[in-house]
Amino acid sequence: MTKRILFLLTALFMPVACWAAVQYSAASKMRLMTHSPHSCKFASARDSASLFQAFIKVSDDQAIHRLRDCGVTVNGRFDGFVTASVPVHALADLADIDGVDFVSFSQPLHLCNDSARYLSLVNPLHTAENLIAPLTGRGVIVGMIDVGIDFNHINLCDEKGKPRVKAVYLPCDDTGTAPVVNDEVLPGSCYETPEQIAALTTDFTGSSHGTHTSGTAAGGYLGNDWYGIAPQADIVACGMPDDQLTDVNIVNAVKYIFNYADRVGKPCVINMSIASNGGPNDGSSFLCKSFESLSGPGRICVVAAGNDGNAPIRFSKTMMGVGDTVTTLLRNQWGGLNRNGFVSMWSEGSQEHRTRVVIMNRSTHEIEYTSPVVGFLPEDSVYTLSHETDEFFGKYYQGEIQFASALEPSRSEERFHSYWLFDVTSVESGHLIGLQYVVDEPSELVGWCSKQTYFYTFGIDGITGGSSVGSISDMATTDSVISVGAYCSRRWVSNDQGVIDTDASCVLTDIAYFSSYGPDELGVSRPDVCAPGLSVVSSANRYDEKADRNRWMEPAVVDGVEYPYYANKGSSMSAPVVSGLISLMLQVNPGLTPSAVREALISTAYKDSFVLSGDASRWGGGKVDGMSAIEAVLRNTFLKGDVNGDDEVNISDIMSILDIILCGSKDDDALTMIRCDVNCDREILFSDMNEVIDLLLK
């Protein structure tokens, strides 16, 4: 027995002794111990997570080639080191690679909001690492328009467990008081007293999306690392079922939130992790115009770029003249032939384009079925094609297709818009369905489809497919909003049962493959900036009946109640990172305009090797940098020495500093503290008074 134990111990520690030739960080050594090839923990990791993220210090380019020869994927090259994905089988080989000097593995259990704050350089703002007082969003409202919000989740409370959700608007609820804004009654109900809000559960039991985004922007539970960017901001939540997530409901919610902010006299940023593919993408939609009308100084809207950056959802074709025809085929996002979505096509101006449904033989490439051609339809008229009304069509597809068209307002003139809505299932796999467009005069056709219906060529000559270029959400095509793309902040997320969320296509800190981008139809590059969006851990909705709870993280337990968390990915996750940061910017300057916010974010965004070598249209200004953005706002907002904010440097500023020296600061007056630290040494002393005196004497 003794010999057997000795053998096992030797087998367990032999790999560590072998690997010790390479220098490892302390945390990496612990990872090597717990993930040695003879450890049961290592075996489970081998099964569920085949890659380890690492920083590897290298002496030359040849070391990089040798790493690759051993199966290591080099994700990014820097001056003297690389970021890399190391397969389990290559761990022991690192010690034998010439030119590898130091390895530091990432920590797989510290994922998501902790990473989002770290990568976005927000943590120093919370801890006052570079400022005399922390910035946490206190005194600012973060509005959330979403689906599936747990209004009383512990992550949406303060450090004492007191709810920070100050108001709730439910546009599809009629059990409460209808809100009145500018003497106009909005649909739905609002709840604005603590008692009313405490009695609420959730707006929708089929999702946790809104609880997640709310926690990312403004989560305040500090019992784990998954709190948000603005942990002390007030929250106004507007939730609705997913089938009621419409442009009108969104506009009403924006109105309600900004009106509430006006009533309580606080600046406000609204997060909308929502996207739309159905508009003209030139900022002329009603939704975009509403944002332009409602936003302004201290009233900022943030939208997600969308998750179609790898999808052929945009169609464009220059039509040369009379009778010019173009054909596109359709597939769903999984590659199948069933269609359940829309196709939205726009002419360059008011000139009509006509269209019809076609069905093509997949083998011969011959069109075997064509529907009647439709274009301008009489007012209120809709064309319907179904297997019940067209027996020939029913040989190929079951279900229904509808068509409508209209002249719709645009930036400069009316534009002709056609809209197909598909809900069909293929009878067999030998035939493809598509649309054929024809014009009677030169025109530029441009259109988008829903995620369930892609423009596709299937490799057939003469067919025009779609592109992901210009996949940016229509909601993001106005300068009155801040648009946010996503990059990869973590490749996997683990709970105590192992890896629960992985994405092998993600390269750490590179652009997320799904992040939508422009340009928009006015040629403006979108999004504005990018933020962490894969993967992010945040709050989950306790009332979510559709959730896979095996994929949830360890819950926070407070007073015997479990409050769940989970991982998610998308530009939906990156947008609230920026919304939370903007609330910190508004804490510094409550009167910031959308253009000033955009300028601060873009001008201070950092550009690492991925940004510099990547597609500029996907990155926007780069990766959002919280600390630099705040410093830019401070520089552009305050006259040095103007402690009390009256736009003058005078004796009252000296007295304000003296008051803090003698009486101390107030917990909710971080901005005054920052102003009083005139010499920026992170202390408020008589030297700051002397600096103001010097300014007065100049």
Q: What whole-number percentage of the chain has pLDDT above 70?
A: 88
pLDDT band at residue 401 under the 50/70/90 scheme: very high
- In a shared domain, residues 299 and 318: no
- Which tops the pLDDT comparison, 472 or 408? 472
Output the domain CATH number for residue 658. 1.10.1330
Domain interval for residue 356: 314-463
Is the CB of residue 229 less than 8 Å from the CB of residue 216? yes
Output the domain CATH number for residue 495. 3.40.50.200
Question: How remote is the C-alpha of 207 from its chain's centroid?
Answer: 17
* pTM for this predicted structure: 0.82
- Which tops the pLDDT comparison, 108 or 260? 260
pLDDT given for residue 222 in this prediction: 93
Tens of pLDDT, residues 159-184: 889 999 999 999 889 899 999 998 88
pLDDT given for residue 638 in this prediction: 82
Least confident of 103-107, 298-302, 333-337, 631-635: 103-107
Unique residue bearing structure tokens 């027996």: 391
Residue 297 lies in a domain: yes
Is the CB of residue 165 less than 8 Å from the CB of residue 192? no
**What angle is formed at CA 616 by the lines to CA 611 and CA 617, rounded to 5 degrees?**
135
Output the domain CATH number for residue 6. 3.30.70.2980
Residue 323 lies in a domain: yes
Tally of domains in the chain: 4
Tens of pLDDT, residues 442-498: 989 999 998 878 999 999 999 999 999 999 999 999 999 999 999 999 877 777 777
Residue at which a domain ends, from 463, 486, 512: 463
Checking if the pLDDT of 257 tops 50, the result is yes
Give the DSSP letter string of 413-440: S-EEEEEEEEEEEESSTTEEEEEEEEES
pLDDT band at residue 87 under the 50/70/90 scheme: confident
Instruction: Say if residue 442 is preceded by a cis peptide, omega within 30 of 0.
Output: no
- Which tops the pLDDT comparison, 302 or 378? 302
- In a shared domain, residues 9 and 155: no
pLDDT given for residue 29 in this prediction: 47
Residue 470 lies in a domain: no
pLDDT given for residue 506 in this prediction: 83
Section 396-421 average pLDDT:
88
- In a shared domain, residues 253 and 331: no
- In a shared domain, residues 69 and 45: yes
Tens of pLDDT, residues 197-242: 999 999 999 999 999 999 999 999 999 999 999 999 999 999 999 8
pLDDT band at residue 249 under the 50/70/90 scheme: confident
Residue at which a domain ends, from 79, 105, 131: 105
Phi and psi based region of residue 672 (left: phi greater than 0; alpha: psi -120 to 50; beta: remaining): alpha
pLDDT given for residue 200 in this prediction: 97
